[in-house]
Amino acid sequence: MIPYVRLPMPACILGVAVLLMLGAGAQAQTDPLSSWNDGAAKSAIVEFVRATTTQGSPTFVPPAERIATFDQDGTLWVSHPMYAQVMYCLDRVPVVVKAKPELAKVEPFKTVLSGNREAIAKLPMEDLLKILAATLTGMTVDEFQAEVQKWIESAKDPRWKRLYTELTYLPMQELLGYLRASGYKTYIVTGGGQDFVRVYSERVYGIPPEQVVGSMAGTTYGYDKDGKPILTKEPKLLLNDDNAGKPEGIHLMIGRRPVAAFGNSTGDQQMLEYTKAGDGARLAMLVLHDDAEREYAYGPAQRLPDTKVGTFTQALYDEAQKQGWPVISMKNDWKRIFAFEQ
């Protein structure tokens, strides 16, 4: 048996030499961003990678500092009409009520159980937080992971009738792969629950759990009835990883400023500002949902319908123009949106 070994440097150099001899021609033929149309957005990405990864470039970034952060909802996958994690929480309400039958007569659980979508959509934030607390805390970390795993492998989006995990954007998956192939460490930085996204991030995006930064709740260490150590999820918010919470979460979890950041809503603005405030070449981009036919259209109120799920205000659009943050038009910049499209 050959034990797993990291390649020492000389072998790596030999490997590169072999690669250059055998595969350079074929390599040059393949466009790592083949689902992107040629245009300003694609050029900005390619130019940024060239500027930060070419030895001798004045804006070269050492591999250890190549950090790229991605919002998830609306940036890496579909978030309309409602965030997948909220759908999970709503789906879990019957289970919670079964364990505590007295909740059936109490709001907001009563409304959720009624199945009245319009009424559910109108629930105020305060009620939504009660549902989140009831469905995301109180169990062990292992139990939670198992529940999310089961759900994410079966629950389907109402429009496409496909698993939520099939609704990731192919051009963004290509971008993740392209950055990683260029030595970047890719992170998800989401307003969603850190523990929730970690369940599928490696399989779906190639991003391991330790590279997921999200809204974080505390856990309590203890022992089960057999004396086995357990971690229980508590309704104690440590960090709301949205808006100003995104740079705060990045500092907490990574401890380095990103070199590139990607978002799609006002909740991502501070992450983009923080990224761009570093020295040298930096890339900050926003995905604009302007394709009602292939996905959804919402955004700057003067041009597209307003939304509370992934709000992209006119002010954010103006800021992007002013700061030079390229805006990605799903309609014009993306040849294909989903891998399942023909």
User: What residues line the site for a second copy (CB under 8 A)?
Assistant: 1-8, 10-12, 14-16, 18-20, 22-23, 50, 53-57, 63-64, 141, 180-183, 185, 194-195, 198, 202, 208-210, 212, 216, 218-222, 228-229, 231, 238-239, 244-245, 247-248, 251-256, 270, 273-274, 277
**Tokens encoding 247:** 């740079």
> Residue 221 phi/psi, 5° resolution?
-80, 135
Tell me how far apart the alpha carbons of residues 16 and 212 are, in angstroms, rounded to a whole number: 31
Report, in Å, the least distance between residue 215 CB and a second copy. 12
Give CA–CA dist 290/306, Å, rounded. Answer: 12
Q: Cβ closer to a second copy: 114 or 220?
A: 220
Q: How far is the CB of 132 from a second copy (least distance, A)?
A: 18
Q: How far is CA 35 from CA 72, 137, 179, in A?
A: 19, 39, 15
Angle of the 141-152 helix axis to the 84-99 helix axis, nearest 10: 120
* Nearest residue (CB) to a second copy, 214 versus 326: 214
| Min separation Cβ 296 and a second copy, Å | 29
Nearer to a second copy, 97 or 188 (CB): 188
Burial 203-213 (b: 16+ CB within 10 A, else e): ebbebeeebbb
And the tokens for 283?
């890339």
The nearer residue to a second copy, 2 or 125, going by C-beta atoms, is 2
Residue 160 C-beta: closest distance to a second copy, Å: 29
Give 44 or 123: the residue with its C-beta nearer to a second copy.
44
Q: Please tell me the distance from the alpha carbon of residue 14 to that of residue 21, in angstroms, as a whole number.
A: 11
Residue 291 Cβ, how far from a second copy at the closest point, in Å?
Answer: 32
